[in-house]
């Protein structure tokens, strides 16, 4: 089966002014699209050609001979997940099951926000900040480059792309401002709740 570029769940200008249409034009239309194109080229004619994305990722993680396939397929998955983690008018404190789970595992929503901001700001170079579920406990993690919790037995619930291409046109070097704005104005907690169940 071909690896496909998912449709954005909203128009490209829907996240303005937090994330500009120009950023989404490049980030989705160029970066994400290129990962899809490269992933399809790299798996063509290999034993991975007919596997779904999750299986390709889990079967190539840590294999240096398969780094190209891992990097491109994981980036396709990470970006498809990232778009769904945002919505116009989102962000702020959650409700529903995730709100109770955050209070149980972090003590408060504020602690979660502090941990996510810290993970995103301290990821050296390119990567991702995550809220994940592991052994039925919520945790905040960060991964470098294309790496993804999916490949390490963890269940992703929320991610923030901290590659420069995610924020540089709108925030330049102010990654912490992008992280704050993402958490205050964009998080799609309905999606996070759907991942938790
Ligand atoms: Mn990205």
What's the pLDDT at 197? 86
Which residue, of 41, 57, 84, is where some domain finishes? Answer: 84
Q: What domain range is 161 assigned to? A: 97-196
Q: How far is the CA of 111 from the centre of ligand 1 (A)?
A: 26
* Cβ-proximal residues to 156 (8 Å cutoff; 6+ apart), any chain: 81, 130, 131, 132, 148, 149, 150, 195
What's the pLDDT at 118? 98
Q: How far is the CA of 109 from the centre of ligand 1 (A)?
A: 26
Q: How far is the CA of 35 from the centre of ligand 1 (A)?
A: 10
The answer to whether position 11 is within a domain reads: no
Percent of residues, the chain, with pLDDT higher than 90: 98
Summarize the confidence of residues 55-84 as an average pLDDT.
Answer: 98
For the chain, how many helices (H) and strands (E)? 9, 3
What's the pLDDT at 149? 98
Q: What confidence tens digit (pLDDT) does each residue in 166-187 have? A: 999 999 999 999 999 999 999 9
Q: How far is the CA of 17 from the centre of ligand 1 (A)?
A: 18
Q: What domain count does the chain have?
A: 2
Q: How far is the CA of 45 from the centre of ligand 1 (A)?
A: 27
| Model confidence at 1: pLDDT above 80 | no
Q: Domain check: are 175 and 106 in the same one?
A: yes
| Mean pLDDT, rounded, of the chain | 97
Q: Domain check: are 103 and 77 in the same one?
A: no
Q: Domain check: are 106 and 184 in the same one?
A: yes
Q: How far is the CA of 1 from the centre of ligand 1 (A)?
A: 23
CATH number of the domain residue 35 falls in: 1.10.287.990
Summarize the confidence of residues 36-40 as an average pLDDT.
Answer: 98
Q: How far is the CA of 127 from the centre of ligand 1 (A)?
A: 8
Alpha-carbon torsion (142, 143, 149, 152), positive or negative:
negative
């Amino acid at each position: 089966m071909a690896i496909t570029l998912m449709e954005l769940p909203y128009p490209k200008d829907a996240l303005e002014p937090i994330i500009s249409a120009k950023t989404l034009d490049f980030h989705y239309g160029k970066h994400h699209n290129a990962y899809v194109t490269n992933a399809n080229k790299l798996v063509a004619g290999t034993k991975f050609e007919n596997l779904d994305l999750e299986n390709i990722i889990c079967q190539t993680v840590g294999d240096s001979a398969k780094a190209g396939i891992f990097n491109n397929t994981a980036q396709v998955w990470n970006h498809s997940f990232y778009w769904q983690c945002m919505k116009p008018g989102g962000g702020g404190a959650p409700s529903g099951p995730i709100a109770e789970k955050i209070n149980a595992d972090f003590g408060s929503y504020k602690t979660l926000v502090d941990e996510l901001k810290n993970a995103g700001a301290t990821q050296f170079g390119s990567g991702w900040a995550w809220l994940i579920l592991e052994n039925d406990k919520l945790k905040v993690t960060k991964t470098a480059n294309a790496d993804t919790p999916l490949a390490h037995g963890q269940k992703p619930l929320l991610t923030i792309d901290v590659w420069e291409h995610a924020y540089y046109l709108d925030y330049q070097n102010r990654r912490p401002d992008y992280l704050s704005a993402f958490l205050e104005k964009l998080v799609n907690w309905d999606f996070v709740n759907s991942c938790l169940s």
